[in-house]
Structure 1
Amino acid sequence: MTTDLHTPDNESLIEFPCDFKLKAMGKNCESFVELVYQVTIKHAPETPRENIEITDSKGQKFVSVNITFYATSIQQVHGIYGDLKKHPEVLMTL
């Protein structure tokens, strides 16, 4: 199920600017964490590495990467999620 972050008149339901936490899931490897971080800093270059949180799946085959960044607009958020969804290593985003 996809949740639209817009109201009918195309205004965001999120007040910007704000801290925004994204989540991306993929196979458990260091390159996946780096991929999610690189996509994030492409759109939010001031995001420090310290804002990365990693959670392994129960069997440790998969990983959830959470990154909190300072979001300035809905277009910025959509840009990050759009780039992540295009990448074959990304299994899911929230």
Structure 2
Amino acid sequence: MSDQNPSESVLVFPCRFPIKAMGLADEHFEGLVIEIVSRHARRPVEADVSARLSSGGKWVSVTLTVEAESRAQLDAIYCDLTAHESIVWVI
């Protein structure tokens, strides 16, 4: 059992933080993820975004690295991503 308070973070802000979202492979999925994350963080540059198709080509994962300013900002990004019907999971 951990003695750490759940409200305490091991992250030190600001920090670079990767966010990965997965959904059905679609030509618009990467843009969708970028648009949602950009509501809360500076729009990522191309070098901070990568996409990878599953071996069968049905799924795509998009990873964005953002400059996170706070835990609240990350929570808002995760809430918006998980609320979208096209996004299956977020880590």
TM-score by length of 2: 0.89
- For residue 9 of structure 1, report the CA deviation from its aligned partner: 5.6
Q: 2:31 aligns with which of 8, 21, 34?
A: 34
Go from structure 1 to structure 2 and tell me whether the alpha carbon gap of 1:32 and 1:10 turns closer, same or farther (over 3 Å shift). same
Go from structure 1 to structure 2 and tell me whether the alpha carbon gap of 1:21 and 1:9 turns closer, same or farther (over 3 Å shift). closer
Consecutive unaligned residues of structure 2, counting only runs of 5 or more, are none
The aligned residue for residue 51 of structure 1 is 48
Letter in 2 for 1:53: S
Moved more, 60-69 or 38-47: 38-47
Q: What is the 5 A alignment of 1:65-84? A: 65-84=62-81
Letter in 1 for 2:66: F
Go from structure 1 to structure 2 and tell me whether the alpha carbon gap of 1:46 and 1:28 turns closer, same or farther (over 3 Å shift). closer
Go from structure 1 to structure 2 and tell me whether the alpha carbon gap of 1:34 and 1:17 turns closer, same or farther (over 3 Å shift). same
Contact 2:42 / 2:66 at 8 angstroms: preserved in 1?
no
Contact 2:34 / 2:43 at 8 angstroms: preserved in 1?
no
- For residue 11 of structure 1, report the CA deviation from its aligned partner: 1.8
Cα displacement string for residues 55-93 of structure 1 (whole angstroms, at most 9, x for unaligned residues): 100001100000001001011111111000000000011
Instruction: Mark the structure with the bigger radius of gyration.
Output: 2
Matched, 1:23 2:16: no
Consecutive unaligned residues of structure 1, counting only runs of 5 or more, are 1-6
TM-score by length of 1: 0.86
- For residue 50 of structure 1, report the CA deviation from its aligned partner: 3.1
Letter in 2 for 1:71: A
